[in-house]
C-alpha cells in the first residue's frame, strides 16, 4: 500500500494509542536527544551545551540501553540531518550521510581516537553502544579541530567513567530471525581510580532463507587515574569482531551459498592531562586503531574451484599534543599539533592464483589554533584555523568562525562559516591492479554556512530549535576507465555538488514522567558538475539529487516513565523518497530509480520486577521490543530489502 499522508497519520495515531500509559508511577525520561551537562566534541574541552555555537546533538548511553538500541547506527537515525542507510539485513554495510555529504564525510572517534579508514570510509554495521556514556554528534565542518574526513560532521563515542561503589549488570534477549544477544558489564572506582568494562555477543540468522547469519562480539573498557589534583591519565580499549554472511550478488539477487565478510578491529587510546596552572592545561593523546578485514567466497558446491579471497589490514597511529588557556573575561584558547601515521596492505587470490600484494604508507601533520571570548556581554565569538602538511598532497588550510548571541534568557542565536576537507583513499592514491591510482590527487573540500535559533518555553518544558545550512562540495574524486595511455591514472578531482537544508526539532516535557520530541529535516542536494559521468544512470547526474539523500525526513519519539516500575517508549521514523542506482548484470544497463517513502514504528517497554536491594541483592527487569510494528516492506538501498516486523523479549539484572 502506498505510504500516503493519511496512512502515515493513522500509523502515528495507532502508535500513540499503544503507547498510552496506564495509571502507574513515573519513570526515567526516555528522550535520548536531551543534552547532558557538558559536551566536548565542538571545542575539544568540556563546555556547557548552551554555550556552544555549533550544532551538537547528544545521545545518552543510559537511554539507548534502556530502549534496547545495540548499534550506534540505529541511535543515529534520530539525529536531525543524519541519514543512515543499511544495505539489507543485520550486519550489512551501513553508511551515514550528514547534511547531504558523502558517506565518507564524517569523522568517527572513540574517546578522541579516529576509527575511519584513510580517506574517510567507515562502516557502522558492527559499532555497538557497548559501555557508552554518550554519543556526541557535531553537524557541520570540523576539520579545524579534527583534520581530514570531518567535512560534514563528527561522531564521537565517549566511554563510561567509573566512580563510587561497584555496579554490575547483565542481560540478554532473543526473538525474530533467530536472534540472541547477551551482555555483561561492570563499573566502579575509589581512591583516585575509576574503571568500566563491558562485553556483549549478538547472533542472528538474518532475513534471507540461506547464508545470512551474522555474529558480533564487542568488548570495551576504560581506566582513569588521578595522580594528585593536577594530573590525570585515562586508558581506553575497544574491540569488535564481526562476521556477516550474505547470499546476494552486486545486483541484490540471493545466489551464493557461502560468501561472507569479516572484520576484527582493535582501538587503544591513552589520554594524559596535566594542569600547569589555574590558567594553563596541557594534554597528550596517543592512539592506535587497527582492523583486519576479509572477503571470502569459497567455491559453491559441488564446484571445487573458482573461489576468491581478499584480505586487507589497515592501521592508524595518532599522537596529539594540545594546550588550553583560560583567560579573563571568558577568553579560552586552544593550540594543538597532531601526527597521523597510516598504513594499509592487502592481498587477493582467485582460484588459487594470487595477485601482487599491495602496501602503502603516508603521514600527516596538523597544526591548529582556536580562540573564543565574549566580544560583548551577550555575544560569544569563536575563530580557528588549521594547517595540514600531508606527505602526498602537501599543504591544506581550513578555518571556522562562529558567533553565539544570547538574545534573551531563553533564546540563543547561532551562526558560523567554515571549510573542511577529506584526503584521498589509499585505493585512489596508490592502486595498481586493474585501475591506477593518482598520487597527485588533492583533498575533496567543502565550504559551509549555517545559522540557527534555540528557544526555551514554558520554563524549560518546551525546547524549539531551527537551523539552516548551505554547503558546497568541490574537487570530488571521480573514476574514469578511459585514459590516453595505460600508465595514466584513473582518478581525478573533477565532480562537484551542493547541499542546503533546514533542521527543526521540538522537545516537550509536560511532566517529569512524560516526554516527547519531533524533528524534521528538509534537504536540497544537487550535482553541479557531473565530471566524467554522462548518462542518466551515473552516480553523478548534473542537476539531479545526490544518491540516497531524501528531501524530507521526520522522526517522532515519545517516552513515559520515571521512578516507577513500568517504562514505555515509541519511535516513528519517516523517510521520504530518494534516488538510488539499481545495478544489473551485463548487458542490461543499471538504472537510476526513485525509492518510495517509508515509515517504521518501533516500541519498547521495561518492567522492573525486583529493585536492587541492600547487601548486593540484584534487581530484575523484563524487557520487550518491537521493530517495524506495522510490518513495512521497504528498501534503504535499492534491491536490498530491510527486515520486516521483529519481536524481542529479554531479561536484565543489575547490582548497585
Q: How confident is the model at residue 30 (pLDDT cuts 50, 70, 90)?
A: very low
From residue 215, alpha-carbon distances to 61, 202, 205, 242 in Å are: 22, 6, 9, 6
pLDDT at position 307 is: 87
C-alpha–C-alpha distance, residues 346 and 433, integer Å: 12
Q: How confident is the model at residue 15 (pLDDT cuts 50, 70, 90)?
A: very low
For residues 422 and 120, the answer to whether their CB atoms sit within 8 Å is: yes
C-alpha–C-alpha distance, residues 650 and 607, integer Å: 11
pLDDT at position 3 is: 54
Mean per-residue pLDDT, 603-614: 90
490 by DSSP, 3-state: which? coil
Q: How many CB atoms lie within 10 A of CB 112?
A: 21
pLDDT at position 7 is: 54
Assign residue 519 the CATH number of its domain: 2.40.170.20
C-alpha–C-alpha distance, residues 150 and 141, integer Å: 6
Instruction: Please report, rounded to a whole number, the percentage of residues in the chain having pLDDT higher than 70.
Output: 94
Q: What is the pLDDT of residues 368-381, one digit of tens each?
A: 999 999 988 899 99
* ∠ Cα 93 97 100 (to 5°): 150
The continuous run of DSSP H or E covering 16 comes out as: helix 5-19
- Can you give the pTM of this predicted structure? 0.93
Q: Is the confidence at residue 28, as pLDDT, over 90?
A: no
Cβ density class 173-199: b for 16+ within 10 Å, e for less:
bbbbbebbbebebbbbbeeeebbbbbb
Structure-block grid coordinates of residue 63: 537511554
C-alpha–C-alpha distance, residues 290 and 270, integer Å: 15
CA-nearest of 562, 559, 561, 563 to 611 is 563
Tell me 563's DSSP state. B
Q: How many CB atoms lie within 10 A of CB 158?
A: 23
Q: Average pLDDT of the chain?
A: 91
CA-nearest of 448, 450, 443, 382 to 418 is 448
Q: Is the confidence at residue 352, as pLDDT, over 80?
A: no
Mean per-residue pLDDT, 562-573: 90
Mean per-residue pLDDT, 179-207: 95
Q: Is the confidence at residue 74, as pLDDT, over 80?
A: yes
Domain membership of residue 30 as a residue range: 5-655
The continuous run of DSSP H or E covering 14 comes out as: helix 5-19
pLDDT at position 537 is: 79
User: Which has more confidence, 374 or 473?
Assistant: 473
Tell me 357's DSSP state. P
Total number of domains in the chain:
1
For residues 599 and 11, the answer to whether their CB atoms sit within 8 Å is: yes
pLDDT at position 615 is: 63
Q: How confident is the model at residue 20 (pLDDT cuts 50, 70, 90)?
A: very low
Q: What is the pLDDT of residues 276-289, one digit of tens each?
A: 999 999 999 999 99
Out of 193-202, 475-484, 552-561, which region has the weakest mean confidence (pLDDT)?
475-484
Q: Is the confidence at residue 175, as pLDDT, over 60?
A: yes
DSSP structure string for 624-643: EEEESTT----EEETTEEPP
Tell me 424's DSSP state. P
pLDDT at position 16 is: 44
Beta strands 94-98; 167-175: pairing state: unpaired
pLDDT at position 35 is: 42
The dihedral through the CA atoms of 636, 642, 648, 651 has a sign that is: negative
Structure-block grid coordinates of residue 67: 530502549
Out of 430-434, 436-440, 460-464, 650-654, which region has the weakest mean confidence (pLDDT)?
430-434
CA-nearest of 342, 354, 331, 369 to 424 is 342
Q: Is the confidence at residue 614, as pLDDT, over 90?
A: no
Mean per-residue pLDDT, 151-159: 97
Out of 35-44, 170-179, 590-599, which region has the weakest mean confidence (pLDDT)?
35-44
Q: How many CB atoms lie within 10 A of CB 6?
A: 8
The continuous run of DSSP H or E covering 137 comes out as: strand 132-139
Q: Which residues contact 383 (CB under 8 A, 6 or more apart)?
A: 370, 371, 372, 399, 400, 401, 402
User: Which has more confidence, 338 or 20?
Assistant: 338
pLDDT at position 383 is: 97
Instruction: Please report, rounded to a whole number, the percentage of residues in the chain having pLDDT higher than 90.
Output: 78
C-alpha–C-alpha distance, residues 281 and 214, integer Å: 46
Give 619's strand partners.
Answer: 654
Q: How confident is the model at residue 18 (pLDDT cuts 50, 70, 90)?
A: very low
C-alpha–C-alpha distance, residues 150 and 111, integer Å: 16
C-alpha–C-alpha distance, residues 198 and 632, integer Å: 34
C-alpha–C-alpha distance, residues 500 and 484, integer Å: 37
CA-nearest of 454, 371, 458 to 406 is 454
Amino acid at each position: 500500500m502506498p505510504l500516503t499522508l493519511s496512512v502515515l497519520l493513522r500509523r502515528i495515531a495507532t502508535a500513540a494509542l499503544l503507547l498510552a500509559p496506564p495509571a502507574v508511577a513515573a519513570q526515567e525520561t526516555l528522550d535520548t536527544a536531551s543534552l547532558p551537562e557538558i559536551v566536548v566534541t565542538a571545542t575539544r574541552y568540556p563546555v556547557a551545551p548552551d554555550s556552544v555555537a555549533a550544532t551538537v546533538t547528544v545521545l545518552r548511553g543510559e537511554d539507548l540501553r534502556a530502549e534496547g538500541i545495540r548499534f550506534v547506527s540505529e541511535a543515529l537515525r534520530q539525529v536531525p540531518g543524519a541519514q543512515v542507510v543499511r544495505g539489507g539485513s543485520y550486519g550489512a554495510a551501513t553508511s551515514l550521510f550528514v547534511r547531504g555529504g558523502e558517506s565518507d564525510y564524517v569523522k568517527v572517534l572513540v574517546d578522541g581516537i579516529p576509527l575511519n579508514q584513510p580517506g574517510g570510509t567507515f562502516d557502522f554495521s558492527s559499532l555497538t553502544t557497548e559501555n557508552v556514556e554518550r554519543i556526541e554528534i557535531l553537524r557541520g565542518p570540523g576539520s579545524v579541530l579534527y583534520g581530514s574526513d570531518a567535512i560534514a560532521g563528527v561522531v564521537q563515542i565517549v566511554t563510561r567513567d567509573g566512580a563510587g561503589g561497584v555496579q554490575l549488570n547483565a542481560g540478554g534477549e532473543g526473538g525474530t530471525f533467530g536472534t540472541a544477544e547477551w551482555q555483561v558489564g561492570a563499573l566502579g572506582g575509589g581512591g583516585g581510580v575509576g574503571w568500566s568494562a563491558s562485553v556483549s555477543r549478538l547472533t542472528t540468522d538474518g532475513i534471507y532463507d540461506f547464508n545470512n547469519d551474522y555474529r558480533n562480539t564487542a568488548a570495551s573498557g576504560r581506566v582513569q587515574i588521578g595522580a594528585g589534583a593536577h594530573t590525570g591519565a585515562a586508558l581506553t580499549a575497544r574491540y569488535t569482531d564481526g562476521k556477516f554472511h550474505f547470499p546476494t550478488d552486486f545486483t541484490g539477487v540471493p545466489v551464493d551459498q557461502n560468501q561472507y565478510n569479516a572484520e576484527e578491529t582493535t582501538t587503544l587510546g591513552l589520554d594524559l592531562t596535566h594542569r600547569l596552572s589555574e590558567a594553563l592545561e596541557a594534554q597528550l593523546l596517543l592512539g592506535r586503531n587497527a582492523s583486519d578485514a576479509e572477503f571470502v567466497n569459497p567455491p559453491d558446491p559441488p564446484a571445487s574451484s573458482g573461489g576468491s579471497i581478499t584480505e586487507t589490514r589497515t592501521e592508524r597511529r595518532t599522537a596529539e599534543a594540545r594546550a588550553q588557556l583560560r583567560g579573563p573575561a571568558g577568553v579560552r584558547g586552544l593550540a594543538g599539533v597532531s601526527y597521523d601515521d597510516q598504513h594499509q596492505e592487502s592481498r587477493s587470490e582467485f582460484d588459487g592464483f594470487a595477485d601482487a600484494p599491495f602496501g602503502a604508507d603516508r603521514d600527516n601533520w596538523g597544526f591548529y589554533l582556536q580562540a573564543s571570548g565574549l566580544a560583548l556581554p551577550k555575544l560569544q565569538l569563536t575563530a580557528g584555523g588549521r594547517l595540514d602538511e600531508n606527505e602526498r598532497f602537501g599543504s591544506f588550510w581550513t578555518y571556522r568562525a562562529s558567533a553565539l548571541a544570547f538574545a534573551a534568557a531563553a533564546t540563543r542565536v547561532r551562526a558560523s562559516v567554515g571549510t573542511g576537507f577529506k584526503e584521498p583513499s589509499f585505493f585512489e592514491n596508490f592502486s595498481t591492479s586493474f585501475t591506477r591510482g593518482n598520487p597527485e590527487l588533492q583533498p575533496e573540500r567543502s565550504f559551509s554556512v549555517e545559522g540557527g535559533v534555540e528557544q526555551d518555553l514554558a520554563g524549560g518544558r518546551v525546547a524549539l530549535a531551527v537551523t539552516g545550512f548551505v554547503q558546497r562540495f568541490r574537487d570530488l574524486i571521480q573514476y574514469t576507465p578511459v585514459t590516453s595511455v595505460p600508465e595514466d591514472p584513473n582518478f581525478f578531482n573533477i565532480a562537484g555538488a551542493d547541499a542546503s537544508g533546514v533542521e527543526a526539532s521540538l522537545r516537550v516535557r509536560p511532566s517529569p514522567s512524560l516526554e516527547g520530541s519531533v524533528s524534521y529535516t528538509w534537504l536540497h542536494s544537487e550535482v553541479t558538475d557531473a565530471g566524467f559521468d554522462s548518462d542518466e544512470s551515473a552516480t553523478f547526474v548534473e542537476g539531479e539529487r545526490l544518491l540516497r539523500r531524501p528531501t524530507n525526513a521526520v522522526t517522532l519519539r515519545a517516552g513515559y516513565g520515571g521512578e516507577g516500575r513500568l517504562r514505555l517508549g515509541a519511535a516513528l521514523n519517516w523517510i521520504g523518497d530518494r534516488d538510488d542506482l539499481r545495478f544489473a548484470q551485463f548487458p542490461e544497463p543499471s538504472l537510476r530509480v526513485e525509492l518510495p517513502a517509508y515509515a517504521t514504528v518501533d516500541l519498547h517497554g521495561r518492567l522492573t520486577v525486583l529493585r536492587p536491594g541492600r547487601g548486593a541483592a540484584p534487581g530484575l527487569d523484563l524487557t520487550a521490543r518491537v521493530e517495524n510494528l506495522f510490518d513495512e516492506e521497504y528498501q534503504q538501498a535499492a534491491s536490498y530489502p530491510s527486515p520486516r516486523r521483529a519481536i524481542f523479549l529479554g531479561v536484565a539484572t543489575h547490582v548497585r
